[in-house]
Amino acid sequence: MGFAANQARLTAMVSRKSDLELEAQFLEQHKLFLASLTNGFFNVQAKLEPDSPAAKLLEARIKQLEQADKILDMHLRRVTSQQEAVSKELESTSKLVQKNIQSSFGLMGGS
């Protein structure tokens, strides 16, 4: 690829890396929110009779929140994996751009 194409690719990968970092932050925020809700439900449930309908309903909601947390974990692992791949590709393309610069300036310096 030429210098311009490599530079465009580099810019696109930096943008993608930023998008993935933002998505990971959102997922972490959602996980914290779910943890907060779960904690609140546990606190309310502790004040109830264990066999009461309200306690059973809270137990069901807690299980739903735990399942949602697992789904967010899966998404976060996917995003982290994509971040690692983009970082490697970014490093590779950056080296290629540096080689292009060196070869371009090497030709100019040799004239």
Q: Is the dihedral of CA 71, 75, 76, 78 positive or negative?
A: positive
How many structural domains is the chain composed of? 1
Share of the chain above pLDDT 90, in %: 74
Say how far apart CA 98 and CA 91 lie, in whole Å: 11
Tokens in use for 68?
């949602």
Say how far apart CA 90 and CA 86 lie, in whole Å: 6
33-73 pLDDT, tens per residue?
A: 999 999 999 999 999 999 999 999 999 999 999 999 999 99
Say how far apart CA 63 and CA 73 lie, in whole Å: 15
Q: What is the pLDDT of residue 109?
A: 52
2-39 pLDDT, tens per residue?
A: 778 888 888 999 999 999 999 999 999 999 999 999 99
pTM of the predicted model, to two decimals? 0.79
CB atoms under 10 Å from CB of 66, counted, come to 12
The domain of 49 spans 3-110
